[in-house]
Amino acid sequence: MVGQRFRYSRWDGSQKGFELDAFDVMAELADDLMYHGDPMAALRRLMQDGFEDRNGERVEGLREILDKLKQEREDRLQNFDLGGVYDEVNSELSDLMSQEQQSLADRQALADMELGDPDASAATKRDADLAKETTTSKQMQLGMLPDDLAGKVRGLQNYEFESNEAQQRFDDLLDQLRQQLVSQQFEQMSGAMENMSPEEMARMKDMMSELNKMLEQRENGEEPDFDKFMEEYGDFFPGNPENLDELLEHMAQQMAATQAMLNSMTPEQRQQLMDLSNQLMEDMDLNFEMSRLGQNLQQMFPDAGWQQSYDFSGFDPLGLADASDMMRELGQLDQLEQFLQQATSPQELAEVDIDQVRRLLGDETADSLGRVSELAKMMEEQGLIQNKEGRLELTPRGLRRLGQQVLGDLFKKLSADKLGKHDIERSGLGHERSYDTKAYEFGDPFNLNIERTISNAIRRTGGGTPVRLTPEDFEIEQTERQVRSSTVLMLDLSLSMPMRDNFLPAKKVAMALYSLISTQFPQDYLGMVTFSEVAKELKPSDLPEVSWDFVYGTNMQHAFQLSRSMLAKETGTKQIIMITDGEPTAHLRSDGSPFFNYPPSRETVEKTMAEVMRCTKAGITINTFMLDPDSGLRGFIERITEINQGRAFFTSPETLGDYVLVDFIEHKRKLLSGRRRSA
């Protein structure tokens, strides 16, 4: 078999073919996840606002779709008029009546000619007199027909046509009107009613009667035999409903749409249509069963839109069939609008009939809804989120991915010279393998590479067994020198942080620092402490869900105390990174309760500085990153740096990430350089 042939070309950015994946979605959600920590809230925002995929194609959000939906409805109402419901019927009646009038005129002319014929027999003249009398009578009947549509139909039903062709046209018109009137009520049956015979119309009446019986059984607490009903009357429902509830709900929506059309008409138009319906259905005994079914469905589905009406203001008249289709579409637009307005998660959009959306709003909107409905499922399948007791949460993999996303975004802003790896030229005693080897020298750690050592012995001896080793065959593995540092990030969650738009940048830095250390420096320790009125230890896994505290207070004293306690259990160089936008306004009393005062009290400042002294004695460096610092905060931080010999950075939300990440990496470089010199 000849294999497939493929052609490859250089990527130039114009090609398409990459579909949206879970990681693209995570990138879109990053800011929302960082700010609120709630995957469902982030997905809901994405669902509402829409986004662009990696091809630059717009995926419409619900706001755009709802705007388009409203415009579609407005276009229909502004372009069409329900007055045309009767125009085509009146036009057909006028045509066939003209045809009948012509037949009567021809018959009368023939009678006049026969009466004037001197050679005509007495019998012929009697027949001509009778024909003339009959045609005159019929012309009078036609002239006396009521002006209203139902009256004309009623009069013509009792009229004996002279023209067989006009009679056939009238019969066909009545059949067509009956089918259209019934299809108004029952959309599912519209296909089954084409060219329906009187016998089949009678069978339809029996079907409606059975439906009413089943409704009454349901009302009495009995369970109707739906399968038996479908076995007998299933051909009326090509949509093949799976159960009675589905069938009834669909019929209720369609009958409600017909009622909405009546509600949208003028009183005169409404009366004409109702009279016409009564006139056409009375002889088939359909009217009673339809009215009975409508009343039963209205009781079962009171919220189906029975009171809905539309204000048509256009000039393009709608025929009866077109009006039915239009009302059906308007009803579907209303239902879709209501559903989308109430949707709270992308998963719910999976219930939307995409084919119906495609018909109503076009391919782009249908495709967008389909793609948005898959967002949560896509992320779950990739292991980024999980459904835990009905609540979406980030998985450990999702947490790592979010950290990488935030870290990558921040790193894009930094120059390449600040992003270098922390490799060292000199080999050391660490546990990380470098996969390089060297000949053993006295004093080296005996990390023997068996493969290279045996190979050396075989090359030396020329082969054979057993292989005898000598010290000159020994070859050892080299390791990278590792320098461990322990860091606690102190994150200010006081109310001023979100009020000054500092919260999200600060949280992003925390997430990025966690990702940087866990991926690039896994031997390091990173602890996190949040502080407002009091301080709390925070697990990195809880970081996405952390939010600010709705209380006043910036308790640095408690945060330093907690950070010092955490670092006391760790080894290596130790530092505290503090991100804050305010001076200390709270501390812990001797009984452990928080004390708050603004401006900062003397006691709060003294207790905070005492903790700074303890950190300094414990060998902990404090580096502070200040957001929107005022003179009070500047003065306080300068006192900290004077005592602790740490550093202070006066920064903004836009540059905070640059400062923290670069400082952390430079700190690592200095540690590595110092180890090289000492080695």
Same domain, residue pair 557 and 648: yes
- Cα 372 to Cα 59: distance, rounded to the nearest angstrom: 8
Same domain, residue pair 602 and 512: yes
Least confident of 22-31, 52-61, 414-423, 524-533: 414-423
Q: Find how far residue 557's CA is from the centre of its chain.
A: 45
DSSP secondary structure code for residue 197 in this structure:
-
Least confident of 172-176, 484-488, 658-662: 658-662
Go through 194-222 and write b for each residue having 16 or more CB atoms within 10 A of its CB, e for each that does not. Answer: eebeeeebebbbebbebbbebbeebeeee
Q: How confident is the model at residue 75 (pLDDT cuts 50, 70, 90)?
A: very high
DSSP secondary structure code for residue 448 in this structure:
B
At 676, list the tokens.
């090289």
The pLDDT of residue 263: 83
Which whole number is the average pLDDT over 420-428? 35
Please give the mean pLDDT across all residues of the chain.
80
- Cα 349 to Cα 371: distance, rounded to the nearest angstrom: 10
Predicted confidence (pLDDT) at residue 58 exceeds the cutoff of 90: no
Return the SS3 of 279: helix
The answer to whether residue 396 sits within a structural domain is: no
The answer to whether residue 580 sits within a structural domain is: yes
- Cα 373 to Cα 44: distance, rounded to the nearest angstrom: 11
Task: Render pLDDT for 214-270 as a digit per residue (tens, 0 to 9).
Answer: 988 888 888 899 999 998 888 877 778 888 888 888 888 878 887 888 788 877 777
Same domain, residue pair 457 and 493: no
- Cα 304 to Cα 295: distance, rounded to the nearest angstrom: 13
Same domain, residue pair 365 and 455: no
Same domain, residue pair 654 and 569: yes
Predicted confidence (pLDDT) at residue 426 exceeds the cutoff of 60: no
Same domain, residue pair 526 and 669: yes
- Cα 421 to Cα 3: distance, rounded to the nearest angstrom: 45
The answer to whether residue 586 sits within a structural domain is: yes
Which of 342, 238, 265, 256 has the alpha carbon at shortest distance from 80? 265
The answer to whether residue 66 sits within a structural domain is: no
Count of all residues that appear for the chain in the document: 679
The answer to whether residue 299 sits within a structural domain is: yes
Residues of the domain holding 54? 22-59+343-384
Q: Maximum Cα–Cα distance for the chain, whole Å?
A: 151
Task: Render pLDDT for 281-322 as a digit per residue (tens, 0 to 9).
Answer: 665 566 777 778 888 888 888 887 888 888 888 888 887 777
DSSP secondary structure code for residue 235 in this structure:
G
Tell me if the bond preceding 445 is cis, omega within 30° of 0: no
Number of domains in the chain: 4
Cα dist from 177 to 61, 358, 523, 607, whole Å: 42, 30, 83, 91
Cα dist from 115 to 108, 120, 122, 140, 657, whole Å: 10, 7, 9, 21, 112
The answer to whether residue 155 sits within a structural domain is: yes
The answer to whether residue 574 sits within a structural domain is: yes
- SS3 per-residue string spanning 578-645: EEECCCCCEEECCCCCEEECCCCCHHHHHHHHHHHHHHHHCCEEEEEEEECCCHHHHHHHHHHHHHHC
Same domain, residue pair 654 and 672: yes
Which whole number is the average pLDDT over 53-68? 86
The pLDDT of residue 2: 43
Ranges of beta strands (E only) in 368-467 are 385-388, 391-394, 432-439
Q: How confident is the model at residue 659 (pLDDT cuts 50, 70, 90)?
A: low
The pLDDT of residue 281: 66
Of 520 and 3, which is predicted with more confidence? 520
Q: How confident is the model at residue 410 (pLDDT cuts 50, 70, 90)?
A: low
Contact 311, 260 (CB under 8 A): no
Same domain, residue pair 625 and 528: yes
Same domain, residue pair 573 and 674: yes
Q: How confident is the model at residue 679 (pLDDT cuts 50, 70, 90)?
A: very low
Which of 282, 289, 281, 280 has the alpha carbon at shortest distance from 251? 289
Predicted confidence (pLDDT) at residue 376 exceeds the cutoff of 80: yes
Task: Render pLDDT for 139-164 as a digit per residue (tens, 0 to 9).
Answer: 898 888 888 777 888 888 889 998 99
Predicted confidence (pLDDT) at residue 419 exceeds the cutoff of 50: no
The pLDDT of residue 414: 47
At 63, list the tokens.
């706001």
Cβ neighbours of residue 123 closer than 8 Å, sequence gap 6 or more: none
Contact 640, 576 (CB under 8 A): no
Task: Render pLDDT for 311-359 as a digit per residue (tens, 0 to 9).
Answer: 888 888 887 777 778 888 888 898 899 889 888 888 888 888 899 999 9
Contact 376, 347 (CB under 8 A): yes
Same domain, residue pair 437 and 290: no
Cβ neighbours of residue 333 closer than 8 Å, sequence gap 6 or more: 69, 72, 73, 360
Of 134 and 389, which is predicted with more confidence? 134
Predicted confidence (pLDDT) at residue 17 exceeds the cutoff of 70: no
The pLDDT of residue 358: 92
The pLDDT of residue 528: 92
- Cα 529 to Cα 526: distance, rounded to the nearest angstrom: 10
CATH number of the domain enclosing 498: 3.40.50.410
Angle at 419 between CA 637 and CA 417, to 5 degrees: 95
The pLDDT of residue 428: 36
Predicted confidence (pLDDT) at residue 666 exceeds the cutoff of 70: no
Task: Render pLDDT for 522-557 as a digit per residue (tens, 0 to 9).
Answer: 788 889 999 999 999 998 778 877 888 888 899 999
Last residue of a domain, one of 446, 480, 514: 480
Same domain, residue pair 244 and 304: yes
Contact 661, 513 (CB under 8 A): yes
At 24, list the tokens.
């693209």
The answer to whether residue 180 sits within a structural domain is: yes
Name the β-bridge partners of 552: none
DSSP string, 209-256: HHHHHHHHHHHTT----HHHHHHHHGGG-TT--SSHHHHHHHHHHHHH
Positive or negative: CA dihedral 69, 70, 73, 75: negative
Name the β-bridge partners of 448: 476
Of 304 and 579, which is predicted with more confidence? 579
At 662, list the tokens.
């670069």
The pLDDT of residue 55: 74
DSSP secondary structure code for residue 79 in this structure:
H
Q: Please state whether beta strands 620-627 and 573-580 pair in parallel, antiparallel, or not at all (unpaired).
A: parallel
Task: Render pLDDT for 124-134 as a digit per residue (tens, 0 to 9).
Answer: 888 888 888 88
Which of 91, 155, 34, 58 has the alpha carbon at shortest distance from 403? 34
Same domain, residue pair 551 and 664: yes
